[in-house]
Amino acid sequence: MRSKLLKGCALLCLGLGLGVAWVASKNAIATVSPEGFKLTAVQPTGAFQSEASCFHVGGYDAFIARIRGRNSAWKPKLWMLPWIFPRENYEQAQATLDCRSVSYESDGLAISGWMVAPKRPPGTRLPVLIFNRGGNGSFGALTFAAAMTHLFPYAQEGFLVLASNYRGVHEDDPLKNGQDEFGGADVRDVERLLALVDRLPQADPDNVFMLGVSRGVMMSYLVARNTDRIRALAAINGDADLEAGLAFRPEMERVFSVRMPEYATRKSELLAQRSVLRWAEELPRDMPILMLHGSQDVRVDPSNGPRLKQRLDEIGHPNKLVTYANDDHFLRKNRDAARAEVVAWFRAHAKPAAAAVAVAEAVAL
């Protein structure tokens, strides 16, 4: 009797599941329309090879319909879309932000990236934040979903955010998109963004900041080493000594050996070139550095923060270290607090806008 009852319940649950999935599939197909696949038109800035809006003409419903139309109705995440991408967040962003998927030239290669800025009247100059992502190759690439999570909040704080996916993110076409060298020639893809700042009419070239996350911290230090344009830098869970980091996380050897040219014969040299602890004295002295670390990070040794702080203190380089107890590589428990710390750091080291300086001087007279 009990086995028959269990069998009946199982069949009933299966039937209900199939019915719900069928309804969801029908609804997903029904909501896809030709208009939903159109993106909002944008006025080109002229700084990029190509640029297109992130937002759909049909708004949130068209955005969700497009995701459903590209995926099987059986994928569990499709049921979670309203929670993963809340309507309120999307619609607020569409109303207040100018978000663009862009491509630009670097060393003759086509590099993909993002520009996100708050909507402001013409003539407004915005401080620039260059965001350097983590990961390598296509792993960790900045998608629209990642842009919503990592870039939108800073644009909503008033920054014009630029982010590169680095060369090699499209790994199937190295002739067109290049190869990721994990801190080699790909550093020039970030340096290229600095040059593009001067071609963006809404960008304030005197207030350029840089934020690196994980691998992006290494990229940030490598760029900062050769320029005096970065007013302040922030680093979240970055590795300051790659060779020492291998003892903490040996599996990174596979990434290094695949990404770094000539790694087999020049290992120590290549790792030293990418390790800020080896050449911290070459960073611009007037570029203050904020370091944020999670004490339970299992991807990057949390001791990187104290070790780099000690070195920066020894050479008199302005810096601040914040360690979040019991937090991970992504600072999941303190994401908002960490973001507020970064924003406050940049604002504290911003150069007053030229117009504000002129007004202050006039008042003084």
Run of H or E residues at 111: strand 109-118
- Helices 2-31 and 59-70 cross at an angle (nearest 10°) of 120
Read off the pLDDT band of 1 (50, 70, 90).
very low
What is the reported pTM?
Answer: 0.86
Answer yes or no: is 145 within a domain. Answer: yes
Q: What CA–CA distance (Å, rounded) separates 17 from 318?
A: 59
Answer yes or no: is 296 within a domain. Answer: yes
The residue that leads in pLDDT, 320 or 364, is 320
pLDDT per residue as tens digits for the range 101-122: 999 999 999 999 999 999 999 8
Mean pLDDT of the chain: 88
Answer yes or no: is 59 within a domain. Answer: no
Answer yes or no: is 259 within a domain. Answer: yes
The pLDDT, as a whole number, for residue 172 is 87
Bridge-based pairing of strands 50-53 and 97-106 is: antiparallel
The pLDDT, as a whole number, for residue 75 is 84
pLDDT at 361 over 50: no
The pLDDT, as a whole number, for residue 130 is 98
pLDDT per residue as tens digits for the range 291-344: 999 999 999 999 999 999 999 999 999 999 999 999 999 999 999 999 999 999
The pLDDT, as a whole number, for residue 40 is 79
The pLDDT, as a whole number, for residue 105 is 97
The pLDDT, as a whole number, for residue 36 is 41
Read off the pLDDT band of 29 (50, 70, 90).
very low
Answer yes or no: is 211 within a domain. Answer: yes
Q: Quick one: average pLDDT of 183-195?
A: 98
pLDDT per residue as tens digits for the range 156-184: 999 999 999 999 999 888 999 999 999 99
Strands of the sheet containing 160-164, edge to edge, are 50-53, 97-106, 109-118, 160-164, 126-132, 203-213, 230-236, 289-294, 319-324
The residue that leads in pLDDT, 11 or 102, is 102
Answer yes or no: is 285 within a domain. Answer: yes
Read off the pLDDT band of 37 (50, 70, 90).
low
Overall number of domains in the chain: 1
pLDDT at 19 over 70: no
Answer yes or no: is 235 within a domain. Answer: yes
* CATH number (domain holding residue 267): 3.40.50.1820
Which residue range forms the structural domain that includes residue 254? 98-351
The pLDDT, as a whole number, for residue 345 is 98
The residue that leads in pLDDT, 20 or 95, is 95
pLDDT at 274 over 70: yes
Q: What CA–CA distance (Å, rounded) separates 221 from 329?
A: 19
Answer yes or no: is 81 within a domain. Answer: no
The amino acid sitting at 76 is P
